[in-house]
Structures are given as structure tokens and as C-alpha cells.
Chain A
Amino acid sequence: MTYRLLQVDDDPVILFLHNKLFSKYTNSKIEQFKNGRLALDYILIDNGPDISYLLLLDINMPVMNGWEFMDEICNHGLENSTSVIILTSSADCTDLDKSKSFANIVHFIQKPLTKEKIEKLPLLMEYLALQD
């Protein structure tokens, strides 16, 4: 079984910060995508019966935003092989309500991601450990 951790965010500073944080838990580089479209294309090619994904997904992105990406995952029947942690700068409670409508969204976290937040998410910790 293969466990892949993917980051989807259009902000390079955020991706830089996440890489710095994740480097404390794994030596592997975490895959990064600048929008939902690129992440979806990757999964559609890469996915298989023995692969599970954990995505750190931003909402507001160009080309395909987080919610459009979630709809596509459902359309392709990939809910069971993907778990999603929404990672957003948004303080809009409608986003939180919307996240509850997707069964494979496991957490809704406000940016910035910190060491303390990471360590409170066992699933993320597990994936980080399995990336080596």
C-alpha cells in the first residue's frame, strides 16, 4: 500500500513555509500543485488500487478552486482513496459549512500551518512518517 501526501496551493510563500515545516518530519519532498486541475490530472494518472492520498487543499485558487476539485474527485469516484485536509486563510463560516458536505474532508484548518497544528493531526503525522 502506498500513501501519498499532496499539497495544493497557489501561494509559493505558503508552499515554502510548509516545506520548511514538513522537513522536520520527513526527508522526502512533498508533491506540490498550483491549482486543483494540476492535482486532479496527477491523481487521475497515478491512482491505483494500492494508493491512498492525503491532500492539503487550499480553497481559493485559479483555474480550479478547492471546491471544484472536490466535485471532480466525487465525479471520478475517488472519494474512498482520497482524504482531504482543507487548509485555508478564509475565515468565512460558509466554507466550513460546505466542507461538511464532503465525507472525505477530514479536517478544516485555518492557515498558517504550524508545528503545533501538525502534531494535533495524527493522520497527517502518519502520512509524513510514511513518505520516507
Chain B
Amino acid sequence: MGIQNKYYGWRWGEEDPIFKNLGYIQNVLGYIDPADKSFTSNNFKELFYPGDFDLLQKSWKKYKKGTDHAFEMSYRFKHKDGSWRWIKESGLANVFNTSNNPIGGIGTIQEVTDKKKKYTQLKSILKNVSIIILRLRQDSNNQITVDHISKEALKYWNIPCETLLKDEGYLRNLAHKDDLVGIRSALSNSFAKMEFFECRWRVVSKEGNINWCQGVGTPLKDKDGTCFLDIVITDITKEKLYTEQLKVSEEKYHSLFQHSPQPSWVYDLETLAFLNVNSAAISKYGYSKDEFMGMTLADIRPECELENLEIQVQKTRENYLNFFDGYFKHINKQGEILTVHLYSSPITYNGQKCRQIIAIDISEKMKYLKFIENQNKSLKRIGWMQSHELRAPLVRLMGLINLLTDQDSIGKEERHYINTEIINSANEMDIMTKNIAQIINDAQLKEKMNDVQIIAG
């Protein structure tokens, strides 16, 4: 608050050194005007925050009786404006008698209101987040102990922390027993090499729930030569869960992709290079996986299809999220042309915008289709011939035979004509039926040839 630290000394037999600093406290609390007599050595105790004066007295007496040569304590006063101000006193014994007992010391007094405010804010923040801040210190015997832990966050984790700071086996409270070896090893390594510490382990809550956490930090050397490591511990349970789910999903996808009976691949939309191919594609196209990895889409297209490929790829680049399917001609390593029904969908592969393809070879299906189409054509032709061509001589025959039953109306010449036409019509029918038989024979022959081709293929 603009008032500098004050240094002072005291003798062991003297009263509480706070009484040496009344002028400093008077300034901190806003009683600046020399004419202001409202701040006196008698009433300043009333300005203490309730309980803080007694606490200070107790601490000081305890310090004087003890063997610890350093002290530090903070207390609060009411400012003239009504707000509370924090003051910190710290000191160190520097004069000793022949028995090596302290008889004099030096110290500082300073206002730490701002620091305290910030610390309180930090504590409040830490209360609402799951981050644990843990300071570990390694002494000269390489023993690691807990210097500090942000207890607020421990509530979030619900781990037994009451004895954490005293307990040398603090790690047992912070980690699953199966992970202790890993953490100890990472810690010793970090302290030994003064390298960045990073470790993931499980934390077991009081209820026995397991959470995953990650601790990171960099070891530093303190003024006294010891090393300390501030570790920031964060809850990564969800991340771990998602990562696991993602891993399972990726494995599932990979398995579906690899074991799909349909040829499938992933290609880079910019370079058209193959990035992954499944075993069905390797088997169908005859290239090894390594060969595929050095190829682009153009290598499995016949030359006449390259222009179409460029047009299609351009369309896909313009609308990356587009799903489409279509019929294309491909060529395998043996130079055979395949007719494929191709399904294309967007996929992010190793962070790149890619496309996944499923290519179903319909060459055999097309052969069957063509065969059935031809058969249908033959059937239609036979149907038409029976309906039109074969029936013409037949109806003629029927009419002529009908006429023969009416003997009275037929003259000699007409009888001759009728006989001739009966023979002509019968011959015509004979030719027609032979033609129909030929069409059926041709269709059967084609079917046999197709069967042979399919078996050979």
C-alpha cells in the first residue's frame, strides 16, 4: 500500500516486538496526520481483528520458549476507513549467548493486504476447480516430502488428505497402489535430471471411485540448495474415457475397414494418393499394400477414364462433405477392366481431409444382366413371332380346313387352290417353328458360354 517494509531489532527479554512498530502500523492504518491523536499505544490493541492479538501473543511466547530461530506471523487491523489490513511480521535470532541461546534478533514488518487478497482469491478459485497444486521438496538425503498441497481441490477429488502433509507416504493417499512405482520412478528421474515431470495415474476416492489424473511440473532449485517441484494435477478421467472410447471406436472402424469383404480405401483429396487400403482391395486389384501406398487413383483407372476422374475429383473438392455413388471403370494390375459401383464419403484421416471409398465389383453382375437382357430380347422375339408370324399360316390353315367341310360351295379349281394353300401354309408353319427353335438354341448356347466364362473368371 505504498508503505515500505520496516526493519528492526529486539532483545530477547523485551516485550513483544510489535510495540516497537507502532509508528509503522499507525501509517498502515491511515492515521497519518501528526495532529491525529486517536491512535495510541493503549487503544491500538482494540484495532486488532477479534482473536488475532491473542494469537500473536501466544505465537510470540511459543517462539521465545522454542528452539526455532525464525518466526513468521500475520494478523489483521482495522483501517481508519473501516477495512481490514493484513500485517506480516517475520524475524530471525542473530545474537546468541555462550550457551548458544538466542538473546537478540532482527525482523521486518510489512503490510501484506494485497498479497493476502490475491491468495484468498486464488484459494477461492482453487475451491471451484479440480486442479491440485502440490509442492514436493527433495532434501539432501533425496527424501521427498510434501511442502504444500491445495487442500481446496482435494474436496473435489474426495481423497483422504488429513494426514497428507505429515505423512511421508503421501503418495499412498494420492495414487492407486499399482501406479506408485511409476510415479516414484518419474519423480526421482525428474529430480535427478532436473527435467520436466509428467505422469498419469489413478486416484482412489474415499468411496473407492477411481479417477484418472495427470501431474506436470518442472523441478527448481531453492535458495537453500534443496530442490522443489510444483506439480499441477488435473482430472483427466473424462479425457481418458473419451480416449478409450475413441480407441475402441477406431479399433472397431479399423477392423470393419480391414475385414470388409468389399474393396475399400482412403485417399488424399489433394494428391489423390492412397493412404490406406483393405485386404479386399489388395486381393481384387492385385497390388500389394506397399505398392498401393506409392500409387494414386489414376493408377487404377483405364486411360479413357482419366478425364472423368478429374471432373469427379474437382466436384468433390468443391463439396468435400458430399456423399455420392456411381458406376466407374477400374483397371487391376493384370490389366483387366472392372466395372465398379463406387460409394464415396468424407473422412478425416490423420487430421487430413480425405475420402473413403467402397468399390463393389459388378463386372459379373453386369455380365448376368446383359445375359438376362439378351434372353428377354429372345423371349420377346419368340413371343412376337408366335403371335404374328406363326399364327398367320395357322389361321389360314384353320380357315381353309373349315371351308373344306362345306363341300357344296367348292368348285374343282377352288379345291385345287385350297389344297395348294394348305400345303403352303403347313410349310410356312414348319419354317416358322424351326426359326423359333433356332432362337431358343442360340440363347441356350450363349448361356452355356457365359457359364464357361464365369467359371473361368
Contact = CB atoms under 8 A, between A and B. Distances in A.
Interface in B375-408: 383-384, 386-388, 391-392, 394-396, 398-400, 402-403
A20 B387 contact: no
A112 B409 contact: no
Contact of B403 (A20, A89, A91): A20
Interface in B27-84: none
B399 A17 contact: yes
Interface string A99-114: 0000000000011111
A112 B398 contact: yes
Interface in B403-457: 403, 409-410, 414, 417, 421, 425
Interface stretch (A8-16, A30-38, A68-76, A124-132): A8-16
A112 B395 contact: yes
Contact of A13 (B391, B410, B425): B425
Given A20-B409, A114-B402, A90 B396 contact: no
Nearest to A59: B388
Contacts, number: 52
Interface string A1-31: 0000000000101101100100110000000
Given A11-B396, A112-B398, A114-B402, A91 B391 contact: yes
A89 B384 contact: no
Contacts of B414: 20
A60 interface: yes
A12 to B, nearest CB: 9
A92 B388 contact: yes
B400 A92 contact: no
B399 A112 contact: yes
Given A17-B399, A17-B403, A113-B399, A89 B388 contact: yes
B400 A89 contact: no
A89 B387 CA distance: 8
Contacts of A91: 386-387, 391
A89 B400 CA distance: 14
B417 A90 contact: no
Given A13-B396, A13-B425, A112-B398, A92 B403 contact: no
A89 B392 CA distance: 6
Contacts of A89: 388, 391-392, 394-395
Nearest to B394: A89
B420 to A, nearest CB: 10
Contacts of A24: 409
A24 B395 CA distance: 21
Q: Which of B388, B399, B400, B402 has the most chain A CB atoms inside 10 A of its CB?
A: B399
Contacts of A111: 391, 395, 398-399
User: Which 9 A-B pairs have CB atoms at the shortest separation, nearest pair first?
Assistant: A112-B399, A111-B395, A17-B399, A89-B391, A89-B395, A92-B387, A91-B387, A112-B395, A112-B398
24 contacts: A11-B392, A13-B396, A13-B400, A13-B421, A16-B417, A17-B400, A17-B402, A17-B403, A20-B403, A20-B410, A24-B409, A60-B392, A89-B388, A89-B392, A89-B394, A90-B387, A91-B386, A91-B391, A92-B383, A92-B387, A110-B395, A111-B398, A112-B395, A112-B398
Given A13-B399, A17-B400, A24-B409, 17 more contacts: A13-B421, A16-B417, A17-B396, A20-B409, A20-B410, A60-B388, A60-B392, A89-B388, A90-B388, A92-B387, A92-B388, A110-B395, A111-B398, A111-B399, A112-B395, A114-B399, A114-B402
